[in-house]
Structure 1
């Protein structure tokens, strides 16, 4: 009975957390479908007995019928939207969960990039034939294989789709209890993993350097802003936000960061550079001081004198050892058969040095 009541309370708490989270966030789904510019490579395309197609033309069992550079803008714009959503949100259910307070700005940004991408697609489609002609001219010996695989422009138009959907998650209690709360429980770990990726490269700003440049602070600020926006998602996030924020407030407005502030920044670099460290810090299991680099204590004059004396003694002992004559051992001496002397003959029986006794061992 007690176990059932405990499980019920846990389920209710999970449901409350789930509904609390979904009420405060908007889910963005980035639906960008981009024409690949490829067709399946056929046996006749290989033209047996002649040269193989160049690597620029074939890849992973497919042939390129259009210059990939002409399509990069679409992939680049998709990444722009995802990167901007990730700056204030986190990955969730195949999309990006963004706090409601930032949802309008995120939606405006996504719509602007989407409209820009659609305009780029119209420009590409208007020049579709020229793109195909230029690609065939780059590989004249493979022009027949390329042109046989080219689709009409209207077919290619249907392969493009650019839209971003902003959704509010509405969940029935049964669904939330069964599945959604499990996804919600993992969001904190997902956020920490994303921050770990953002922190890649921070180490290079510290290693082998006595001070930190202002330029490196941009990464710390972006991490702080992301975690601060999502701090309501998981209770472990807020302690990390406060540690970063308190450090940022004490930094000078210009010039390099040195001394104790540099060492504290080193500890924060190690903190945000590892998802597990952030989780433990948020749980109160890992103090920031534990991540500080060890600074050697200054040595007194007496310590320096003792060290010099020990070094002199060591050098003297080494010199004495070198002065001793060496007695090199010939390895063959270990296997040399030596002559064993025979028994000594005496006229009287030998007298034992110790009277004969019985020894028990």
Structure 2
């Protein structure tokens, strides 16, 4: 059988066209006439067969039955070659589709493997996120405990500050009472000023010493109050910083949960694509079965043509003419 669909009838048609144009039907000329297709060896063999046939016709004219038998043989050979070429093309197309299907199946399996790896990675990331979340929750609980402790310390300090303010007010009241008592004492002892001047001056000095002591105590307590206010401000700043860190960790946790949700959606879409590829695989298998059935039908058709050819030969034999054996029949026998 000639490659690329080249057969004896096609070569004969190209040779006849060249002769009609007055050109010599060489191998290269016939191949160019066929569109630069076909093997030169096959074309040379067909040209020799055609020349031998023409020489045989030139020596002895053939009868109508012999011409009819040759025509039937040529048609049968052409139909058989065309059927074989069609079957070969169908088989080649089926093989290409099978290779394409296998390539798609391998690609789908690779995609599934990658998705499985991604799913494993996402599961590990989810486990790590959950552990980090648990750790962050523990840290948040510890921060809340520390915050409550700091608030309690702040409340205690405010209570102590209030107590110290009350002590300061009492000291100021005592100081005022001392001043009032001094003034009263001055008014009461005005008549005896000269007699008790020394005792009075001693008492005044003592009171001034007590006053300076009270003022120094007041300054110390004011310094302690200022320090307490500073400590309170520092504790409030630390509490605010911890609250900011907790809010940042909460946002990171929400972002990780959203990332996990997106990864789960990607996995669902991959499973859907796998289902579509499986349906395509089933469709390709059905198409392969259909092509097999078509090939079987074409083979049955060829066998029918051969049977018809045998019946035609039998009829020719019955009318007293034995057709010469064709090259195709000789190869079949």
**TM surpasses 0.5:** no
Q: Which structure shows the bigger proportion of residues in helix conformation?
A: 2
Whose radius of gyration is greater, 1 or 2?
Answer: 2
Query: Normalising to structure 2: TM-score of the pair?
Result: 0.21
The structure whose residues are more often strand, as a share, is: 1
Query: When the two structures are superposed, what TM-score results if normalisation uses the length of structure 1?
Result: 0.20
Q: Larger relative CO (CA 8 A, sep 6+): 1 or 2?
A: 2
